[in-house]
A and B are shown apart, each in its own frame.
Chain A
């Protein structure tokens, strides 16, 4: 009846409840959920025949497989088939990945709105990054190529920075992501004093692959983590919920490693700048002090020379004074001598002779002071200023 009524393929919107592959055929359980997410209001079995599956895979590429997952909201073009024995079956002829993407985007937006309402979006971003990032908790899948890229990029840093990485394995795609990531985040939170930051990384993936990261619980947990979270989950178009709540969202694990390196490099550069400033500052101060000392030395030299000059003048003055003063006692002595001599001269008989007096001596050379000592015929010497003459006394009276 239905098959007859719906001879043409129709588009249905539903959710994939289950998906099983058997010999290249894909058996789906399609469900429609009610207002309450747990409640299923409609359910139907569907199949993608192997031939159709290959055709769709060729048309849509890897997206097809990503859409074809349990829990995905899908828009399928189905042909209704009724078999007497197997009952009603929907045969999938086409699939609209755009619908799924839109649904996911909507779902993501709802989570973001809720986190925004709860003021959780910027909480982790407001955490201050430690000056140096060195002890890092890394959540990733050991299998993920991105993890190896990250480790190699860090190790190969040109500055020789050492990083202590602690690996916390977690599924990075599929249904297990929420549970495992939450568990590791909780464990890291308990050991928060050991780490500077948390890094969540994995290799590249398509938009649908990232669906697991559009998760409210994960978003809230990351937002409320007391360590800054750096995310590099390998995508380049949209941001997942996790990217929005993280401290730093980077495109790839390699970019996260570069971020860690540059962060530390900034610190080193800052230190180098400080060192340079200190060097320049001290150089300037030294030069200033040098100038001061030089000026002091100059004034000191001048003052010292002035002192010496003053002393020299003093000594010179004394010298001159001495030369003059020494004449005084000599002059004085000379003066007294002259006076003495003229006094003495007054008593000198020679002087009297010059003035016309003569003195008379007897033969013994004694001065004759009285006529009484002279007799007739005595010989005497007459002393003139220019010589002596003998004379004879002629009488007694």
Chain B
């Protein structure tokens, strides 16, 4: 899974598992960091990617919560 492909996946809002995929990728990055598997040259890119994933997940959660609120107040 190349970063470009994953980036696309996250961007695609119709994909139901995009959040899970993003989370999975985040966990992988954390694991790689813990195992000291990331060369310094790639570190910046990886962290940038991780920051975007976190942002994406948070946004996803925020909109989900908003949806829930809206759905239940409507009924």
List residues of chain A with CB under 8 Å of any chain B CB. 297-298, 300-301, 304-305, 308, 311-312, 314-315, 318-319, 321-322, 325-326, 328-330, 332-333
Contact = CB atoms under 8 A, between A and B. Distances in A.
Contact of B61 (A315, A329, A330, A333): A315
Contacts of B40: 329-330, 333
B38 A329 contact: yes
Contact of A329 (B19, B33, B64): B33
A318 B30 contact: yes
B54 A319 contact: yes
Nearest to A315: B57
A160 B51 CA distance: 82
Contact of B23 (A314, A330, A332): A314
A326 B26 contact: no
Given A301-B68, A308-B68, A330-B43, A325 B33 contact: yes
B54 A318 contact: yes
A330 B38 CA distance: 10
11 contacts: A305-B65, A311-B19, A311-B23, A314-B23, A315-B26, A315-B58, A315-B61, A322-B47, A322-B50, A325-B34, A328-B36
Main secondary structure of the interface of A (DSSP, over half): helix
A308 B61 contact: yes
Contacts of B30: 318, 321-322, 325
B27 interface: yes
Interface residues of B, number: 23
Contacts of A326: 33, 43, 47
A296 to B, nearest CB: 11
Contacts of B58: 312, 315
Contacts of B57: 311, 315
Give the interface centre of B27, B65, B75 by most chain A CB atoms within 10 Å: B65
A286 to B, nearest CB: 15
A297 B72 contact: yes
Nearest to B33: A325
Contacts of B50: 322
A322 B23 CA distance: 13
Interface in B4-34: 19, 23, 26-27, 29-30, 33-34
A318 B51 CA distance: 10
